Amino acid sequence: MSIHIAAEKGQIAKTVLFPGDPLRAKFIAENFLEDVTQYTTIRNMFGFTGKYKGVPVSVQGSGMGIPSAMIYAEELFTDYDVDTIIRIGTAGGMKEEVKVRDIVLGQGATTDSSVLKNIFRDQVSFAALADFDVLYHAYRIGQEHNLGPIHVGNILSSDRFYNEELDNAKLADYGILAVEMEAAGIYAVAAKHHKRALAMCTISDHLITGEVTSAQEREQTFTNMMKIALETACHLADK
């Protein structure tokens, strides 16, 4: 039993969907899963396990930011024998071809956070990468089910939401598709424990156009991303 989740062994599935917003976790449990049990309410960071097409799947809120996401990822991997975490989050678009409501799969996660640097004590700049198998099948499933548009590439895991110092134009010129706040930390924890992780994000706002979606839209309407993650979980269970 872990400190921040406090579920019993066996209550959490091998694959966990990992939204930042606990209300998005609740929405998924109520609208996509059957035979649902809620295994945690600690700090209102809800966690649920149910079945999708007969396959056990859990969905756990992670909170905002790398430190919060790393706490929950660490406990899921080490205390509950989770094999795969699939982040289902939101991100800000940083390139014109990436539109609001498009889906971005984070092949890699650049970050300005000192967390990864501190892990290696300035020896290297660690490249935080998604698991290729999970990435490949998420992309394939999205294309086959026409759940796009889907973009694959490098994303930015920013340490601060309000950050005027970052040169967003230069980052975009170097191929950064979108900015969010968790993926690099999740990828690092997965690498540490030889586990699998993927961050998929729906574009909820755009740094160039200024277009935004509401909190309710972010919680309840980004269902294509949810479907891709759930279908990917089914694929992983079949392997």
Active-site residues, by number, are: 205
Q: Are strands 196-206 and 103-111 parallel, antiparallel or unpaired?
A: antiparallel
User: Positive or negative CA dihedral for 117, 98, 135, 76?
Assistant: positive
Q: Which residues contact 133 (CB under 8 A, 6 or more apart)?
A: 196
Q: How far is CA 208 from CA 44, 99, 139, 231, in A?
A: 34, 10, 25, 32
> What phi and psi, each to the nearest 5 degrees, are found at residue 102?
-65, 160
To which residue do tokens 């004590």 refer?
Answer: 121
Rounded CA gap, 56 and 33, in Å? 9
- Please report where in the chains the tokens 């917003």 appear, as a residue: 21
Residue in 51, 59, 74 with CA at minimum distance from that of residue 22: 59
- At a CB cut-off of 8 Å and minimum separation 6, what does 150 contact? 102, 103, 104, 105, 139, 142, 143
d(CA 25, CA 219): 9
